[in-house]
Amino acid sequence: MKNPLIFIISLMIISCTSQNKIFTPQELAIINSENLILNLYTYDNEQENELLREKSNSFNKDEIKDLTLEKLKSKMLATVKNPEHPGVGIAAPQVGILRKLIAVQRFDKEDNPFEFYINPVIVAHSDSTVVSTEGCLSVPDKKGDVIRYASVKIEYLDNDKQIKQETINGFTAIIFQHEIDHLDGTLYIDKIVETIE
């Protein structure tokens, strides 16, 4: 190459223009905001409800080590653990990000940790069902009964880009179903069998 400086500058330009293609400019504005606790999108706001009803996009394996994704995770965790509005799970669409990412509180594990799941899908479920009384951070001040599977097998990408499968039972299985619904643009109120005020 005749001019190595031009080559290096070209690489820098390509690198800069390819960065953050994971998220839209609007999503980056949310993630990079100064707020640690993000605004929760709710069904009673027409514009926010429109986004909540959209299907989320998957991550590819090359995107899951992105630092912006790690920042989103930390802000989602702070949001779901907000003492003013605590939850047991959160999905990225609930904070305005249409990507397949959820955090679930694992009541089936010691110390009930919150864990993140990338591209989670339910690949199998039990025949048996349970009636679950649910609420949602995106549907404030309401509860309702929903029929859920008693057990689910989920598949997801871990932080090492490996596809994992796990079978989950009980209340934690209900949380997974609720949060994965969010990724498909579904709210629990769409499946409600009885409303509880």
Look up the pTM and report it: 0.88
pLDDT at 7 over 50: no
pLDDT digits (tens, 9 = 90+) for 70-125: 999 999 999 999 999 999 999 999 999 999 999 999 999 999 999 999 999 999 99
pLDDT digits (tens, 9 = 90+) for 45-67: 999 999 999 999 999 988 888 89
Q: Is 93 exposed, middle or buried (0-12, 13-18, 19+ CB in 10 A)?
A: buried
Calpha distance 127→195 (Å, rounded): 25
Q: Which residues are catalytic?
A: 179
* Predicted pLDDT of residue 185: 98
Calpha distance 183→101 (Å, rounded): 8
* Predicted pLDDT of residue 18: 41
Calpha distance 104→77 (Å, rounded): 10
Residue ranges with strand state E in 33-127: 89-91, 101-105, 114-125
Q: Name the nearest CA neighbour of 179 among 139, 136, 143, 150.
A: 136
* Predicted pLDDT of residue 66: 87
